[in-house]
Structure 1
């Protein structure tokens, strides 16, 4: 059994045969990262705290759910390097770079616009219904603010990522869009590092996330001025370096079994680091993320087998939609409980509503993925003009087929 046989994101129908293979375990890991963030936000913002007391033993893990975003950044760096370093090559050309940007835009922008529009409208309705100023007023719906949201630049000049728009999770999408824009320039370095020994690439990956982990330990917090930029740069670069490292390792059954053991240890190290270090200093757990991602990319059995199961892989495919929509679903349900007497906390209907709120983002995310994200991505990708035909090389020196730059790849969060 191998986990390197398909793309991390489900291929488009017109995906080229030469596209880089998916690693299903990493697709499943995206679901874990998304659910960690969802649980974190529910723990922080749920208005009814009475029954959350039963989850008190899990408090450190729930409070550290912000780390799910960092795991997304590592996965994103891995997938882009895994797919695009060889395609963009030593000197990315204008056409290849433009196609890369279009492919990334097709992956994130339509879903973002649907969620942004729906959430903005919902916040305005919430203020009209409740008669109280809320996040719609705080977000500032002037033309400049709206344009920044549409262009996904809302966090670029902000030292903090809180209150950067009506869609709370949108800050990390803005940060990742910045990483996408820089990526072709980063390829100039990655392409030249790809021949380094795996131990060197692995050490560089750990070094990339060390500054953020060290600062968390020193300050006892993960949120300080421009911390989002350090998180993005370190984790994204670490993921890209791990992809180069994995590509340099020749797979075997013995290696796959050993990688499964390493993946199990890295997976256990994350909660252990959080529990020992505490929420603020729990940022040290990012040191385990490159190890976890790299080991899962090589492993068979263990966590890789579980994460490669079909339901988990499907969850990974809807993880982007889940990440964007979960807070809107929570807030809608909580607002209904406040303004509709029949859904009040003491009523049977209200009790049922509160019980199902934590899982409602899952079907909402599936609908968003099925009806918006996938169709829009395919339509935008189909709008790309076909590459210009090349003259056939001499028969004695046939040219191997090259992957098109719009090979499907996933995004985080």
Structure 2
């Protein structure tokens, strides 16, 4: 039987288990870096070599690693009394409310995005918009030919939703059978996924992992390559019990993560493979090290950890609701030819607004919706 406390929990972790507060906080740090990356990206003119926070997109790969770790911690020992469908319901309750909210915010702000950067938006009818909303809330990806923005996004109202699509793919693979793999076979799978990721990074056309949001062969390859290694490496890391205890773990891990995402792009325009090697080292070596340090202490306390807990709660709403504002900001920057210095005040305002919207969504929509759904959907045996 599912206990009432477990049924109404708004987190993946069962109430009887303690939380990895530092890992929650690191998720928040990564989400803040994503927002900053997207704001600076508006000034890069589409060139990765002009980006200021050069590797900010790797935060998504860090999210996948954390997700694998937390899913294994929360569910590995519960399969004796839990069906696959019960697992899917729990993941839907955890993730789907904010996907719906992010889609609706994207639809509500579409009218403010009629910049020259998005000329196709002028032709979108109310009926088409309704169809796009329904596809978005149901997590059905759009084909490039039907996408109204011209960026090839599978979720054009809220671009970052593509990573939740692959999050669901990884969760399904875990539940269907990969959870049953021994550590040895899981390690073999992770090793093969690491080779595929290195191949993409070193031999690919960009020397980075940017992509995954398009429904074409290259987009699917990038999306699967980006999720398979970190998610299942997170599962394996949890199972192996590798933990590293250091003082001020949250500060140390945050510094390592911010530096990894912010260092200059390596190799220039001629030797893209060098940047690929750097990003492979981040995803395959550094990020698991950061998680091992962050997992070294559960239920820590102190001012920095209380901050970590706050941004951990905020991280998912912030990640899944900020990008409609980025569409508006990017269109303004491109149309008005605004430089980073000129746009600093507006960019800072967008950053604060994104955090404010995320917090309001967390408290007014996400947490109440998850509690309601948990009582209705999860409270039965």
TM-score computed with the length of structure 2 as normaliser? 0.72
Moved more, 166-175 or 308-317: 308-317
Alpha-carbon separation, structure 1, partners of 2:131 and 2:200: 34
Alpha-carbon separation, structure 1, partners of 2:356 and 2:258: 29
Question: Which residue pairs with 2:310 in the alignment?
Answer: 314
Displacement of 1:40 in angstroms is 1.5
Question: Which residue pairs with 1:7 in the alignment?
Answer: none
Matched, 1:173 2:158: no
Match of 1:62 among 31, 42, 53: 53
Matched, 1:256 2:242: no
Alpha-carbon separation, structure 2, partners of 1:184 and 1:104: 11
Displacement of 1:82 in angstroms is 0.5
Matched, 1:243 2:238: yes
Question: Which residue pairs with 2:369 in the alignment?
Answer: 376
Matched, 1:107 2:94: yes
What is the alpha-carbon root mean square deviation over aligned residues?
4.6
Question: Which residue pairs with 1:83 in the alignment?
Answer: 74
Moved more, 375-384 or 286-295: 286-295
1:161-200 residue pairs with structure 2 within 5 A? 162-165=152-155, 166-186=157-177, 188-190=179-181, 192-193=182-183
Alpha-carbon separation, structure 2, partners of 1:305 and 1:102: 32
Alpha-carbon separation, structure 1, partners of 2:354 and 2:224: 28
Displacement of 1:257 in angstroms is 3.6
Displacement of 1:61 in angstroms is 6.2
Contact 1:70 1:286 in 2 (8 A): yes
Contact 1:155 1:174 in 2 (8 A): no
Question: Which residue pairs with 2:62 in the alignment?
Answer: 71
Structure-2 change in CA distance of 1:272 and 1:307 (3 Å): farther
1:204-283 residue pairs with structure 2 within 5 A? 208-219=193-204, 220-222=207-209, 223=211, 224-225=218-219, 226-246=221-241, 256-257=245-246, 267=257, 270=260, 276=266, 280-283=276-279
Displacement of 1:155 in angstroms is 7.0
Contact 1:88 1:187 in 2 (8 A): no
Where do 5+ consecutive residues of structure 1 fail to align? Answer: 1-9, 50-55, 389-413
Matched, 1:117 2:104: yes
Deviations, residues 348-380 of structure 1 (Å, cap 9, x unaligned): xx9854542233211111111111111101110
The higher-RCO structure (CA 8 Å, 6+ apart) is: 2
For the pair shown, the structure with the greater C-alpha radius of gyration is: 1
Contact 1:273 1:282 in 2 (8 A): no
Between the two proteins, the alignment pairs up a number of residues equal to: 343
Match of 2:23 among 14, 22, 26: 26
Deviations, residues 278-310 of structure 1 (Å, cap 9, x unaligned): 65554211112122112210158xxx8899521
Structure-2 change in CA distance of 1:11 and 1:387 (3 Å): closer
Moved more, 109-118 or 258-267: 258-267
Displacement of 1:173 in angstroms is 1.1
DSSP-derived class of the 1:229 partner: helix
Alpha-carbon separation, structure 2, partners of 1:164 and 1:70: 19
Displacement of 1:345 in angstroms is 7.8
Alpha-carbon separation, structure 2, partners of 1:336 and 1:259: 41
Alpha-carbon separation, structure 1, partners of 2:66 and 2:369: 23
Alpha-carbon separation, structure 2, partners of 1:136 and 1:305: 51
Alpha-carbon separation, structure 2, partners of 1:356 and 1:228: 31
Moved more, 311-320 or 141-150: 141-150
DSSP-derived class of the 1:318 partner: helix
Where do 5+ consecutive residues of structure 2 fail to align? Answer: 1-7, 146-150, 212-217, 268-273
